[in-house]
Amino acid sequence: MPDTNRTTTRRRVVVTGAAGRIGRALAGPLDERWDVLRTDLPEAADAAGIAPLDVTDLEACRAAFADADAVVHLAADPGPGVSFDELHGPNLVGPYAVAQAAADVRVRRLVLASSLHAMSALPASVQRRTSDQPRPGNLYGAAKAWSEGLGAWIAATTGTSVVALRIGYFSEQRPGPDTLPQDRTAWLSTRDAVELVRASVEADLPAGVDGFVVAHGVSANRHNVAELGATRRDIGYVPVDDAWSEE
């Protein structure tokens, strides 16, 4: 359910990785709802409204997150086949610096972009549940499991609550019959991505161990690789799109 304690003032929300595909999709709708500081690597900062931020720089993160109500951490190398050296900065050091900085400046809510790749070693026939422990099938998924571990640590030891989003197959276009089945059953639409982040930021969660939530980032697909009941209940996520709705 939404956190109603802050409805009288606009939230200050920092988004990292704002020049990425999901970050761009969030910009319009959430800029209307919150006071959003959109950040990304310096080379992407010339885009309209995006400020430079190196997420591996702890001090820079502290400065960017000061006075923020929430941080939505999307910045990462998105390639499932990348090497450890490529993952090391953006996907290992970056989540640590972001999580530590958010806790240091007492951000209320940290939202971390994990991935269903954290569960990719499970058979495709097994529906994923948010209570499942990570079972990565590649190094990228293992790095996302690291992010989830950081989130659990921050929630348990500080006043910052954390939502880790196991995001599926994000695409602006509805996948059709020719789409790979594992992508179609994990589809996340643009408007459901906006709703997912809104719910993650505004959900009323306690501080402490119970303030860490794993949520599934998929749409309301008729055939869904990820179970959505717990995510709907835990953060109030209400997806509306379905990869099969036009058949």
Task: Give the model's pLDDT for residue 3.
Answer: 53
Instruction: Output the DSSP codes for the chain.
Output: -B-GGGTTSPPEEEEESTTSHHHHHHHHHHHHHSEEEEEE-GGGTTSTTEEE--TT-HHHHHHHHTT-SEEEE--S---TT--HHHHIIIIIIHHHHHHHHHHHTT-SEEEEEEEGGGGTTS-TTSPB-TTSPP--SSHHHHHHHHHHHHHHHHHHHSS-EEEEEEE-EE-SSPP-TTS-HHHHTTEE-HHHHHHHHHHHHHB---SSGGGEEEEEE----SS-SB--HHHHHHH-------TTTT-
- Is 68 a residue whose pLDDT tops 70? yes
**Helix 21-33 × helix 190-202 angle, to 10°:** 60
Domains of the chain by start residue, with CATH: 4-235 (3.40.50.720)
- Is 229 a residue whose pLDDT tops 80? yes
Task: State how far Cα 33 lies from the chain centre.
Answer: 18
The tens digit of pLDDT for each residue in 95-138 reads 999 999 999 999 999 999 999 999 999 998 999 999 999 999 99
Task: Give the model's pLDDT for residue 247.
Answer: 54
- Is 4 a residue whose pLDDT tops 50? no
Q: Is 12 exposed, middle or buried (0-12, 13-18, 19+ CB in 10 A)?
A: middle
pLDDT, average across residues 183-208: 96
Q: For the stretch 68-78, what's the b/e string if a residue is b when 16 or more beta carbons lie within 10 angstroms of its beta carbon?
A: bbbbbbbbbbb
Task: Give the model's pLDDT for residue 5.
Answer: 44
Q: Which two tokens stand for residue 207?
A: 């501080």
How high is the mean pLDDT of the chain? 94
